[in-house]
Amino acid sequence: MSSVDGILTGVQNCEATFGDVADSPHYHFIGNVHLGHDLPLSLIARHYDAIVFAYGASKDRTLGLEGEDKPHIYSARAFVGWYNGLPEYRHLNPDLTAGETAVVIGQGNVALDVARMLLTKVDALKRTDITEYALQALASSKIKHVHVVGRRGPMQAAFTIKEVRELIQLDDVNFTPIAEELFPPDLSKLPRPKKRILELLRKGRPWDPNATKSWSLDFLLAPKSLKWSENDPDTLEGVTFSKTQLEDPFSVDSKVTSTDETVTLPTSTLFRSIGYKAEPIPGIADLGAVFDERKGTIQHDGSGRVVPVETLPQREDRGAPGIYCAGWVKRGPTGVIASTMADAFETAEAIVDDWKKTSGSSRAPRAGWKGVQNDVIAHGLHLKPVHWNDWQAIDRAEKAAGALKGKPREKLGTVKEMLLASKGT
DSSP letters of 375-421?
A: HHHHTT-----B-HHHHHHHHHHHHHHHHTTTSS-----SHHHHHHH
Burial of 212 (0-12, 13-18, 19+ CB in 10 A): exposed
| For residue 400, pLDDT beyond 90 | yes
pLDDT digits (tens, 9 = 90+) for 341-379: 898 999 999 999 888 877 655 566 788 899 999 999 999
Specify the CATH superfamily of domain 62-274: FAD/NAD(P)-binding domain (3.50.50.60)
For 161-208, what is each residue's pLDDT tens digit? 999 999 999 999 999 999 999 999 999 999 999 999 999 999 999 999
The reported pTM is: 0.84
CA-based R_g, the chain, Å: 24
CA atoms within 13 A on the CB side of 136: 4
Q: Is 241 exposed, middle or buried (0-12, 13-18, 19+ CB in 10 A)?
A: buried
Answer yes or no: is pLDDT of 312 > 60.
no
Tens digits of residue pLDDT in 97-109: 999 999 999 999 9
Alpha-carbon distance of 105 to 100, in angstroms, equals 17
CB 149 within 8 A of CB 265: yes
* Of 322 and 374, the one with more pLDDT: 374
Distance CA 332, CA 22 (A): 27
Residue count (the chain): 425
4: pLDDT strictly greater than 70: no
We find that the CATH architecture of domain 49-57+279-365 is: 3-Layer(aba) Sandwich (3.40)
A 10 A CB-CB count for 189 gives: 9
Cβ contact 242:248 at 8 Å: no
Residue percentage of the chain with pLDDT more than 90: 73
Residues linked to residue 103 through DSSP beta bridges, in sequence order: 147, 270
Degrees (nearest 5) of the Cα angle 12, 13, 15? Answer: 65
Other CB atoms within a 10 A radius of the CB of residue 250 amount to 18
